[in-house]
Amino acid sequence: MDGPVDSDTDLHGPFGRPIFEDPKARALSRVGVVDIGSNSVRLVVFDGAARSPAYFYNEKLMCALGAGMSETGRLNPEGRDRALNALKRFQALAEGMSLPPLSVVATAAVREAEDGPDFREDVLRETGLRIWVIGGEEEARLSAQGVLLGWPGSYGLVCDIGGSSMELAEIADGRVGRRVSSDLGPLKLRDTKGGFKARDAQIKSVMKDLADHMGPQRDRLFLVGGSWRAIARVDMHRRGYPLHVLHEYRMDKKSVSQTVKYIKSQDLDELRQACGISNSRMELVPYAAEVLKRLVQTFRPKDIAISSYGIREGLLYEQMSQELRDRDPLIESCRFAEAKDARLPGFGKKLFRFVAPLFSKSDPARLRLVKAACLLHDVSWRAHPDYRAETCFDNATRANLGGLKHSERVFLGLALLHRYKNKRQGTRFADLEGLISDRATQEAEVLGKALRFGAMLWMSDTTADGTALDWHPRKKLLRLRLTEASVPLYGEVAEARFASLASSLGAETEIVIRR
């Protein structure tokens, strides 16, 4: 598998040298964050490749701290007790995991409640945890940074809805711009006197003020927050959508309108059970749906994406160096997986150079997926041989990987399925084939079979020198160049896999041996 190896850029391509072993990155490999919201209190412990962190631990309790605040001005007493007990547990867990000090933030409920300072003192006294109460604009900034963690260089409008507030922030060129906070949280709207007409008038008035402050925002709308995710689950259920991964799920203005009507027409308890939504969350969904409908009508985004990353991921992003922020979260995560689980870490780099001629006309977005597939091609080798193909497909389509559209998840999963299996008939791909075009399906098959063949050529740098694929699409000719040192690796099984790759390309084959 030949190719230039004179520099770091040549070795690692446009993605740079792997950074997860850098001490600056490894210092972030185990970070605990607590988010005290108006509706929920959550602990997340991040672990793994710092640029695309895995969720080492994730626990949430629906405390409804902000329930009834519109009338009393104080935290919900029952919710306050439950939150304090949850924080005691979280601190004990952190000590058991030997974590650095937890980062604890509180948003609208604690910020606005008369007894918010008393609650913070109770927490400090009984747990030793210091709560950082953040303002609305800071909440918007951190949520937007969470989106940037998953979508580096993304642009558009981030909307984070909590129980008692809703924040907006614009992002462009990897930076957070204008931002604003409002009181359009479903807990507050639920307490509005006057019913639907009063709520609708309030939402309309506040949304106009938000639009005046933020200006035109016709790019992508990123939705952050549990109520938005619940609505997305309902949208998936209504559409019969086959991939139940919320991150990067897409909606448009029409689907939002249809789902809002659908929510109004359904029995909420039956809908909650069908969609796997908690009781306390489902109670707020109708109010959040009213806000979402007006939000989309007001800002008219070109498309809508659900983000599972928000304020907690924004706190992690806050601690990253710019070098780490600029990295591709997908590629860094795949590199980490290869280093941890592959039988021959580093071979994915050689494999990428080997299969790259088949994709010489591909755009950077496709080459990125080719690179990811090469890095992941061997990380599931411990699975039973009869289930490796399905395991690879499931890992790619359902794993916590940042920076992947759903169609790209399916492409990556299908390529890795073909890494271990020639045929896809009878696999779980059948359930998801509607999410990917016929052309992309064909390209994924070619990539997978190229990985399947290339994996036969485990070789040292010496035997790799001069071994390569040449692809001539006009002639429909696939040439394999071998050296005398690599000829013994081209056995019967390798020959059969090479023929299968050529068949997927509709190509004739040619073998050239360099002497």
pLDDT given at position 5: 34
Topology of domain 8-13+327-514 in CATH is: Hypothetical protein af1432 (1.10.3210)
**48 has pLDDT over 90:** no
Give 62-113 pLDDT, tens digit per residue.
999 999 998 999 999 999 999 999 999 999 999 999 999 999 999 999 999 9
Task: Give residue 6's pLDDT.
Answer: 32
Q: What is the pTM of this model?
A: 0.89
At residue 28, the pLDDT reads 59
Q: What is the average pLDDT across 327-341?
A: 90
* Residue 330: CB atoms within 10 Å: 24
For 8-21, what is the mean pLDDT? 46
| DSSP 8-state symbol, 45 | E
Instruction: Read off the amino acid at residue 348.
Output: G
Is the model's pLDDT at 176 over the cut of 80? Answer: yes
Enumerate the β-bridge partners of residue 511.
480
Per-residue confidence band for 226, with pLDDT thresholds at 50, 70 and 90:
very high
Mean pLDDT of 178-194: 93
For the chain, the average pLDDT equals 91
CATH tag for 136-313 (out of 3.30.420.150, 3.40.1410.10, 3.30.70.100, 3.40.50.720)? 3.30.420.150
The maximal CA–CA distance of the chain, rounded, in angstroms, is: 87
Residue intervals in the chain for CATH 1.10.3210.10: 8-13+327-514
- How sure is the predictor about 128, in pLDDT bands with cuts at 50, 70 and 90? very high
Q: Strand order of the sheet with strand 166-172? A: 175-182, 166-172, 156-161, 220-224, 303-307, 250-251
pLDDT at position 271, please? 97
pLDDT in tens, 453-494: 999 987 655 455 678 999 999 999 999 999 888 898 899 999
- Provide the pLDDT for residue 24: 55
Q: Which CATH number fits domain 23-133: 3.40.190.10, 3.20.20.240, 3.30.420.40, 3.40.1160.10?
A: 3.30.420.40
Confidence at residue 338, expressed as pLDDT on a 0 to 100 scale: 93
Poorest-pLDDT segment among 32-36, 147-151, 349-353, 401-405: 401-405
Statement: residue 347 has pLDDT above 50: yes
Answer whether residue 299 shows pLDDT above 60.
yes
Mean pLDDT of 401-427: 93
Distance CA 509, CA 471 (A): 10
pLDDT above 80 for 51? no
**Structure confidence at residue 156 as a pLDDT band (50, 70, 90):** very high
Torsion-angle region of 166 (φ positive above 0: left; ψ -120 to 50: alpha; else: beta): beta
50 pLDDT band (50/70/90 cuts)? low
* pLDDT digits 0-9 by tens, 136-154: 999 999 999 999 998 888 8
Residue 252 DSSP label? -
Write phi, then psi, for 493 (nearest 5 degrees).
-65, -45
484-507: burial string, b at 16+ Cβ within 10 Å, e else = ebbeebbeeebeebbeebbebbeb
Please check the confidence at residue 10 and state whether its pLDDT lies above 50.
Answer: no
Query: Range(s) for CATH 3.30.420.40 in the chain?
Result: 23-133
99 φ/ψ sector (left φ>0, alpha ψ -120 to 50, else beta): beta
Give the residue among 501, 349, 343, 506 at the shortest CA–CA distance from 422: 501
